[in-house]
Amino acid sequence: MQASDDDLTRTLRSGSRVTAHTTRLGGRDVSAQVQSWQLERSYSTDLPDAMRAFSGSSAAQLQLQVSGTGDTSAPALYSPWAPRSTGDAARPGQSVVHRYGTDGGVLPAFRGTLRNRSAASGTDSVQLTALDGAERLRGPADLPKPYAGFYWRRPVATATWCVDELLRQAGLHSCPPPRHPEFDPASPLTVVYASLHGGFAATYGQPEVVPDPRHYGWSRDGAPHEMALVPHAAAPDTNALTATWFPRSRVTVPGSRLFAEAWVNNAVGFGSTVALELDLNRTGTETGRLRIAVDFSTGQVFMHSGTREGSGWYYSWGVSALKEKRGVWHIGGLFDTVSTGTSVLPTVQPFLTGPDGKHYPCGPATFTDATAAQPAAELYQLRLVTQLATESVQLSTGLPAAPTATEFAQTGAWAKEVRLDDAILPLHAIPRVSGSQWEVLTQIARASMSTAEFDERGVFHWRNYTRFAKPPTAPDLTLTSVRDIAALTVTEEIDACRNYCVQPYKDWSSVKVTSGTTYHDTVVREIPGNASVTLKYVLADEEFDIGPPNVDDDQSVAPGFSVRFAAANAAGAAAVKGAVDILARREEGCLVLRLTNRTARRLYTVDEDGRPSVHIQTLKPSTEPVERQATSWVPGSTSERYYGRQEYCAEAGDWVQDYRAAQDLADAMRAAGQYPVPVLGDVEVLYDPAIQLGDVVRVVDTSGAALDTLAWVVGVKTAATAAGTVQQTLTLRGTRTNGVPADTGLTPDTPSDREPLPAGATYAAVAAAHPTLADLTATGSTWREIKESGL
Amino acid sequence: MSDEPTASGDPAAPAPVEITIEAPTDPAYPVEVLLEEHPDPPVPGEPGTPGTPDPAGPEVPGTPAPDTAPVVPVSGGGQEEIA
């Protein structure tokens, strides 16, 4: 139910209906011109109607009939050939907002965009059709293909993460978005962005170390925004949970201004610390490290520069609110390594915003101790080490300066327009997708028995089957035949009965990793000073993602996936580190590598032997996952006894990759379908603008079908065809059946007629009529004639 | 296609700006190579300018803007981290 104010609630309870609406086209109020309107919402699914509450996507449609104003007819104002000054208000793609209610007030009913307009000359009306936010999801669906899942043989994402990612691509956000998503050589760039909304897969960058699923969970309770990674236990030999991501661009140090950040809840987790670490690939085997760590138990922030091997220096800041205030903190750390030298003593600065929105600016500090110096290196990976619930990790580079408090908060940069549900369907490999974002969301909804819809305010809601699997006990609204129900049709069908449910799944548990395609450049590439060379390789769609190659030096070589730079195109030329930013991105069937020389020197992609040094190797699964199936079935169940064995086999796909998930889906399907639940179609009710899809209503019909039950709203159709008259029709699905069949006083007939057939002529009768075989043969009768007629 | 490196030419010569499209007969070979010269060095900003004062924040410690605490100075440092 939508929340309504006192005036509207009072008028609705009184039973009186003086209807009202407001309609805006392109932000302009055209309420007075609306001659009629009709709004329809329902779940679309490939399952029987009775399953609609559990699965499907809903795209609301609004139809409007608009008149002209004054002496100008509607076609003259709004037809496709009308002047742009008036016609653009009704052009396809224009915004439409419709609210409806009573004289006590109006509630949001629809927010979307126009799909088509139709103007008939000679009349004073234009027909308009609008669709809701689903229209925002017509862009191409594109999901990353990280290899870390089958590399570690651990889930790398969930179907829920994929839903969230598709929405983010369409500009619908559930948490602070990437700061600098688009690549522009002259602008900052977000090189890692991981929402942690049900997966370690990343919008930018790619997961490299994926933790054991026994050590963490995904939770919406206590999440800073929508969903958080909640560590349950530390990995062996560590004191926290660790995950790492390769950046999409291996930027260089010295020279980069890096900003790492995350949202954490210090009241959820098993400890009190969280840290973000930047590993830097130095010459040789040593790894540089830049680190921000927050200890909420002591109220301190630490920022460190040194090596992973242990050397270095740290600064600390004391912020007592860290230990005093429990809740969501936004933490960030600026690592400024901008320098023209071959080594830099970084300047660091923490950023903190508390649960109450208070910002705690910390002063910058520049390291002076030699152990904190960072020599030439490239960014290797971002590491999250956490004991606390964490969400929305990102790392940006190329910042012109330290962010302001407003920039740090991303104030005004986004609005929350997405509500997810618990993370389901863990994935070792993200399935390949095609089509629009909405089509893929619909596909995931069907595979996971979920519902997808935009509500009246334009907010997207994703709900798992679990929401409907728990029968509600209290209604949001009561509809009775005495007052509210104008007409009611109740149907029950055997097609809605499913008591033998099979859910196929792809079993990735025995899939390992192996090398895929190898790319060896055949030409030494020359990169002039302060210039970029972009190499584009054809990459098959089924190939998994590749990050930017590592930069080799003369002491350590990363096999298979590397590049080496030298200042001369010759064998034996010394390796150059920390000079070239390497960006990798996947676009239009190609892997694009962009090598940006950040020095004035001319550089070459050449190895120690003078050969081309760009080496790229993809990783792929060692084998195809095995298709298996989970079955939910109770032999001899009551359902089977009364309705027979009713099989349902869900469509096989790539979205279910885990036995537990498959079994849960099969069990949910059987629980929902073991008894055919009635569908109450076309329940005409007294118009109530607060009713929403998914509401639970109590239906009491004392005059007709004699029922009193709770039901889910799975379809709402509201129409105003004449001034002041609004007709509202609901489609409902019962939350439970009318008990178990009893068949009291009935003796159901057997499936086949077991009365013996007429016996026909006996042997004795035939023998009496035809004493000898010759007599019988002489009649020329067939066996059937003799048997049936007794000849 | 040769596996041998190409001649580098004169390093002092002006760097060519060209787009070369090469036939994708071998998947290991790039299908496109693009060279861009940057008018300015791509190094962002000037060195040593971190911690730019927050325009929305306080100019003087002790007079914080709404919802902003006074600037917290560095309180410690050393070689061994605690957290």
CA dihedral over A385, A197, A619, A545, signed as positive or negative:
negative
User: How many beta-carbon pairs under 8 angstroms link A with B?
Assistant: 226
**Would you call A524 and B68 a contact, using CB atoms and an 8 Å cutoff?**
no
Interchain CB contact of A310 with B (< 8 Å): no
Interchain CB contact of B3 with A (< 8 Å): yes
The answer to whether residue B26 scores a pLDDT higher than 60 is: no
Interchain CB contact of B73 with A (< 8 Å): yes
- The pLDDT tens digits of the residues spanning B2-15 come to 333 333 333 343 33
Which of A305, A359, A588 is the best substitution to test chain B (most B C-beta atoms within 10 A)? A359
Residue A143 to residue A149: CA distance in whole angstroms: 14
Which of B38, B71, B80 is the best substitution to test chain A (most A C-beta atoms within 10 A)? B38
The answer to whether residue A786 scores a pLDDT higher than 90 is: no
Mean pLDDT of A729-742: 85
Q: Which residue of A has its CA nearest to B35?
A: A533
Contacts of A705-708 with C-beta under 8 Å, sequence gap 24+, read: A705/A488, A705/A490, A707/A490, A707/A738
Q: Mean pLDDT across chain A, nearest whole number?
A: 90
**Would you call A517 and B79 a contact, using CB atoms and an 8 Å cutoff?**
no
Task: Supply φ then ψ for residue A535, to 5 degrees.
Answer: -110, 135
Residue A58 to residue A45: CA distance in whole angstroms: 9
Q: Which residue of A has its CA nearest to B32?
A: A536
- The pLDDT tens digits of the residues spanning A133-180 come to 988 999 999 999 999 999 999 999 999 999 999 999 999 999 999 999
Q: Where are the beta strands (DSSP E) in chain B?
A: 19-21, 32-37, 74-78
**Confidence class of residue A444 from pLDDT cuts 50, 70 and 90?**
very high
What distance in Å separates residue B14's CA from the closest CA in chain A? Answer: 9
Weakest mean pLDDT among A90-94, A442-446, A666-670, A736-740: A736-740
Burial call A678-687: b when 16+ CB within 10 Å, e when fewer? bbbbebbbbb
**Would you call A293 and B29 a contact, using CB atoms and an 8 Å cutoff?**
no
| pLDDT computed for residue B62 by the predictor | 43
Chain CA centroid to CA A412, Å:
23
Residue A51 to residue A679: CA distance in whole angstroms: 10
Among A residues 503-562, those touching chain B with beta carbons less than 8 Å apart? 517-526, 528, 530-538
**Would you call B49 and A300 a contact, using CB atoms and an 8 Å cutoff?**
no
Residue numbers in B near A569 (CB within 8 A) = 5, 7-8
Q: Which residue has the tokens 């030699």?
A: A370
**Would you call A349 and B50 a contact, using CB atoms and an 8 Å cutoff?**
yes
| pLDDT computed for residue A8 by the predictor | 78
**Would you call B31 and A590 a contact, using CB atoms and an 8 Å cutoff?**
yes
Burial call A507-531: b when 16+ CB within 10 Å, e when fewer? bbeebebeebbebebbbbbbbbbbb
Weakest mean pLDDT among A377-386, A455-464, A468-477, A520-529: A468-477
Residue A622 to residue A600: CA distance in whole angstroms: 44
- The pLDDT tens digits of the residues spanning A568-582 come to 999 999 999 999 999
Mean pLDDT of B52-69: 49
Cis-peptide into A254, omega within 30 deg = yes
Residue numbers in B near A515 (CB within 8 A) = none
Residue A761 to residue A750: CA distance in whole angstroms: 28
Measured CA to CA in angstroms, residue A364 lies from A299, A318, B51, B52, B73 at distances of 18, 13, 5, 9, 8
Q: Which residue of A has its CA nearest to B11?
A: A602
- The pLDDT tens digits of the residues spanning A196-255 come to 999 999 999 999 999 999 999 999 999 999 999 999 988 777 889 999 999 999 999 999
Residue from A344, A351, A309 nearest A330 by CA: A351
| pLDDT computed for residue B24 by the predictor | 38
Task: Supply φ then ψ for residue A107, to 5 degrees.
Answer: -120, 155
Interchain CB contact of B10 with A (< 8 Å): no
| pLDDT computed for residue B23 by the predictor | 37
- The pLDDT tens digits of the residues spanning A269-320 come to 999 999 999 999 999 888 999 999 999 999 999 999 999 988 899 999 999 9
Chain CA centroid to CA A320, Å:
38
**Would you call A347 and B48 a contact, using CB atoms and an 8 Å cutoff?**
yes
The answer to whether residue A67 scores a pLDDT higher than 80 is: yes
Nearest to A358 among B38, B45, B68 (CB): B68
DSSP codes joined into one string, B1-19: --SSPPP---TTSPPP--E
**Would you call B47 and A401 a contact, using CB atoms and an 8 Å cutoff?**
no
Which of B17, B31, B54 is the best substitution to test chain A (most A C-beta atoms within 10 A)? B54
Nearest to A530 among B28, B42, B72 (CB): B42
Task: Supply φ then ψ for residue A51, to 5 degrees.
Answer: -95, 5
Q: Where are the beta strands (DSSP E) in A599-668?
A: 603-605, 615-621, 626-633, 647-649
Burial call A575-609: b when 16+ CB within 10 Å, e when fewer? bbbbbbbbbbebeeebbbbbbbbbbebbbbbbbbe
Question: Where in chain A is CATH 2.60.120.560?
Answer: 182-414
Residue numbers in B near A600 (CB within 8 A) = 41
Complete edge-to-edge strand list for the sheet that includes strand A460-463: A56-58, A451-454, A460-463, A418-419
The answer to whether residue B52 scores a pLDDT higher than 80 is: no
| pLDDT computed for residue A344 by the predictor | 96
Weakest mean pLDDT among A125-129, A236-240, A542-546: A236-240
| pLDDT computed for residue A790 by the predictor | 58
- The pLDDT tens digits of the residues spanning A580-612 come to 999 998 888 888 899 999 999 999 999 999 999
Mean pLDDT of A47-52: 66
- The pLDDT tens digits of the residues spanning A741-775 come to 888 899 888 888 888 877 778 888 888 888 898 98
Nearest to B81 among A304, A358, A602 (CB): A304
Residue A345 to residue A412: CA distance in whole angstroms: 34
- The pLDDT tens digits of the residues spanning A651-675 come to 899 999 999 999 999 999 898 888 8
| pLDDT computed for residue A437 by the predictor | 95
Residue A365 to residue A288: CA distance in whole angstroms: 19
Measured CA to CA in angstroms, residue A551 lies from A613, A697, B35 at distances of 10, 63, 20
The interface predicted TM-score (ipTM) is: 0.73
User: Following CA atoms A360, A366, A368, A371 in sequence, which dihedral angle do they give, to the nearest 10 degrees?
Assistant: 80
Residue A668 to residue A676: CA distance in whole angstroms: 14
Residue of A482 and A184 predicted with greater confidence = A184
Residue numbers in B near A191 (CB within 8 A) = none
Residue numbers in B near A358 (CB within 8 A) = 67-69
| pLDDT computed for residue A120 by the predictor | 87
**Would you call B45 and A257 a contact, using CB atoms and an 8 Å cutoff?**
yes
What distance in Å separates residue A531's CA from the closest CA in chain B? Answer: 4
Interchain CB contact of A628 with B (< 8 Å): no
For the structural domain made of A182-414, what CATH number should be given?
2.60.120.560
The answer to whether residue A613 scores a pLDDT higher than 50 is: yes
Residue A702 to residue A691: CA distance in whole angstroms: 22
| pLDDT computed for residue A16 by the predictor | 67
- The pLDDT tens digits of the residues spanning A68-87 come to 998 899 999 999 999 999 99
**Would you call B82 and A533 a contact, using CB atoms and an 8 Å cutoff?**
no
